[in-house]
């Protein structure tokens, strides 16, 4: 916090105030009707927005009195008249940078005074938000040691276009079960949540549509859960499906919907980008690419399997208490275990944990058993995916498992042409649900652990 009272006013920001802005973690900009009457305030705003862009400083806005965000963005209405008067004797460059700064500030979703019946309640809410954001900006080390996580985060952040605050945006994260989608989503939430006004991580949505509620009741319940998490209010109750846009349309929010397996979940929780304020980001993780496409989400990060070197390091960190390589005598056994998992992170985690602290002889026995049978935890996970398929898709998946793994796509279509199956659509569905992959060489590939099941 800083207060400019007592600092001698001049044509430019005093050095001590500029330093205070740069050293702050949060800036709160109160945009009143006469805010733009001060060239000094406008210079402060330019500096604050520089810190937002280059230092990820959190900027919160309050549109005070009768000020409307659109008037700030466009410099219209009474706010615009005041601004034009201030600009009358200024250079073109000063007018340009101030206008751009006001346009950007007007797009930062904030508290609108006219939306509150009680000013003290608004102030209390802002104080809570500041406290929560300061707590959230505490550096988290939870994900820094995870193998390959930085590369994943960089690629997703490119898709997120975080500097673009013209509207809200959807981004998908897609890949097979156990590849690390939830881990990536959690790491994104940990890293980015402090730069948004509000954030919410909705975990493990899979199966929520099988709760026994009708469609309307299901959507109400999901919206209550999201608003409870986002607004940090326990057990919220709503009476209609317009609650999310009503509460969040002017808030810059980060919402992560994890393990989505039904289009209804997206229709309930994030039906449209217009439900959320400028700069909002909604990240959806799923195994089913078709759900993303049906919802109009076309910016999608497809999670690749780790490289052989990364897979071995992941395994070793679980098997040898965070060592990144196998100790003497365990090198070949570690290589066998990694090969058994075919680089699937969940398998590497489960088998690594299973072998931790065991002797070489025990490793040999356990690996021999696992090489000739499925892994129970992964078996259960993948069987849920299999059971959710239509019977024709189940049959096609079994045909691939028994006969056509690593076969040419065109060859399989020809061989099954006389069957009653719609092979093209079936293969597309299995690929969309991340149960098979179709390589660049048009080869059908089923992961080894799924093949074992």
Greatest CA separation found in the chain?
87
Measured between alpha carbons, how far is 354 from 146 in angstroms, rounded to an integer?
A: 19
Q: Is 44 a catalytic residue?
A: yes
Asked whether the beta carbons of 351 and 370 are under 8 A apart, the reply is yes
Marked catalytic residue, from 8, 16, 23, 44:
44
222 to each of 41, 100, 163, 203, 225, how far by Cα in Å? 43, 39, 30, 12, 5
Residue 144: strand, helix, or coil? coil
Closest CA to 321 of 188, 335, 330, 377: 330
Residue 20: strand, helix, or coil? helix
Q: What is the DSSP letter of 83?
A: H
Measured between alpha carbons, how far is 430 from 437 in angstroms, rounded to an integer?
A: 8
- Residue 173: φ, ψ to 5°: -125, 120
Per-residue tokens: 122 = 């608004």
DSSP per position, 382-432: HHHHHHTS-HHHHHHHHHIIIIITT-BHHHHHHHTTTSSS-HHHHHHHHHH
Measured between alpha carbons, how far is 22 from 49 in angstroms, rounded to an integer?
A: 10
Beta strands, E only, 78-155? 111-112
324 to each of 320, 329, 362, 425, how far by Cα in Å? 8, 15, 21, 43
Closest CA to 187 of 229, 154, 227: 154
Closest CA to 453 of 342, 316, 334, 317: 342
Residues whose CB falls within 8 Å of the CB of residue 398, separated by 6 or more in sequence, listed in order: none
Per-residue tokens: 374 = 């499925």
Provide the annotated active-site residues: 44
């Amino acid at each position: 916090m800083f207060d400019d009272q007592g600092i001698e006013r001049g044509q430019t920001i005093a050095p001590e105030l500029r330093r205070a802005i740069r050293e702050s973690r949060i800036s709160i900009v109160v945009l009143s009707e006469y805010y733009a009457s001060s060239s000094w305030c406008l210079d402060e705003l330019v500096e604050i927005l520089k810190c937002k862009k280059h230092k990820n400083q959190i900027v919160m806005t309050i549109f005070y009195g009768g000020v409307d965000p659109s008037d700030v963005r466009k410099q219209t209405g009474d706010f615009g008249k005041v601004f034009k008067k201030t600009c009358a004797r200024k250079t073109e460059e000063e007018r340009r940078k101030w206008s751009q700064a006001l346009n950007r500030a007007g797009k930062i979703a904030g508290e609108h005074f006219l939306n509150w019946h009680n000013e003290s309640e608004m102030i209390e809410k802002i104080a809570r938000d500041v406290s929560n954001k300061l707590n959230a900006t505490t550096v988290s080390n939870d994900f820094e040691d995870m193998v390959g996580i930085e590369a994943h985060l960089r690629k997703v952040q490119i898709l997120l276009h975080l500097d673009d605050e013209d509207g809200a945006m959807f981004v998908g994260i897609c890949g097979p079960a156990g590849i690390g989608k939830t881990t990536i989503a959690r790491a994104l939430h940990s890293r980015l949540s402090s730069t948004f006004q509000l954030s919410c991580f909705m975990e493990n949505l899979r199966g929520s549509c099988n709760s026994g509620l009708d469609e309307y009741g299901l959507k109400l319940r999901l919206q209550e859960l999201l608003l409870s998490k986002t607004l940090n209010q326990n057990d919220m109750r709503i009476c209609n499906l317009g609650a999310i846009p009503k509460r969040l349309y002017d808030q810059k929010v980060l919402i992560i919907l994890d393990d989505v397996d039904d289009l209804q979940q997206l229709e309930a929780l994030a039906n449209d980008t217009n439900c959320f304020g400028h700069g909002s980001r909604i990240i959806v993780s799923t195994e089913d690419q078709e759900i993303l496409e049906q919802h109009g989400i076309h910016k999608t990060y497809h999670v690749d399997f780790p490289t052989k070197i990364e897979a071995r390091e992941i395994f070793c960190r679980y098997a040898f208490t965070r060592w990144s390589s196998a100790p003497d005598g365990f090198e070949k056994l570690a290589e066998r275990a990694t090969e058994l998992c075919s680089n699937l992170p969940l398998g590497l985690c489960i088998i690594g944990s299973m072998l931790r602290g065991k002797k070489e002889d025990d490793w040999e026995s356990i690996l021999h058993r696992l090489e000739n049978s499925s892994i129970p935890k992964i078996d259960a996970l993948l069987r849920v995916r299999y059971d959710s398929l239509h019977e024709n898709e189940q049959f096609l998946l079994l045909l691939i498992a028994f006969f056509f793994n690593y076969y040419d796509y065109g060859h399989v279509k020809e061989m099954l042409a006389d069957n009653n199956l719609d092979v093209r659509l079936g293969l597309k569905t299995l690929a969309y649900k991340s149960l098979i992959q179709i390589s660049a060489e048009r080869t059908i590939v089923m992961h080894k652990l799924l093949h074992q099941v």
